[in-house]
Amino acid sequence: MIQATCANGILSPMASDVRRNLAAFLQGEVYAVLSTTAPNGAPQSALIGVVVNDLFEIFFDTLDSSRKSANLRNAPAIAFVFGSTDSASVRTVQYEGTADEPAGDELDQFLERYFNRFPDGRERRSAGGIAYFRAKPAWIRYSDYSADPPLIVEFHQSDLA
């Protein structure tokens, strides 16, 4: 198994290639499991539709009245797990970061990408009661078990900027 850790914003050539593969993988996946923390400290998770930009920011919508919305407004710590939906690939991503609610031009840029992937999102937006969140990464572990030997790489916030 190859294990590599990037730190201090210094990426080896291998890590740069892995970073590109990581971006392609995340941008190709439609769904992820999201985890938030309830006010009582209990974890709460849900499968959600996502889009990911080149900065590894994850964008999604949810009902304004959902537990996710309340949890993230109370405590913006967020985690995701991605698993490959391609049966020929065995890749996973663990992602930790913080969430916020983009507005203005930032929101418009995310919505364009989001509506291209989820056209029904326009209907949800028209109906109202929808909240939009962006997650910014603090730590990502990318594992590719289809590689020989398997590859596991951790990226820290400074590596992803």
Residue 101 is part of a domain; what is its CATH number? 2.30.110.10
- pTM of the prediction? 0.89
Domain range for residue 151? 2-160
Q: Are strands 58-63 and 77-83 parallel, antiparallel or unpaired?
A: unpaired
Total number of domains constituting the chain: 1
pLDDT band at 7 (very low <50, low <70, confident <90, very high): very low
Q: What is the pLDDT of residues 60-95, one digit of tens each?
A: 999 999 999 999 999 999 999 999 877 777 999 999
Peptide bond into 149 cis (omega under 30): yes
- Surface-to-core class of residue 6, CB atoms within 10 Å of its CB (0-12 exposed, 13-18 middle, 19+ buried): buried
Provide the pLDDT for residue 107: 97
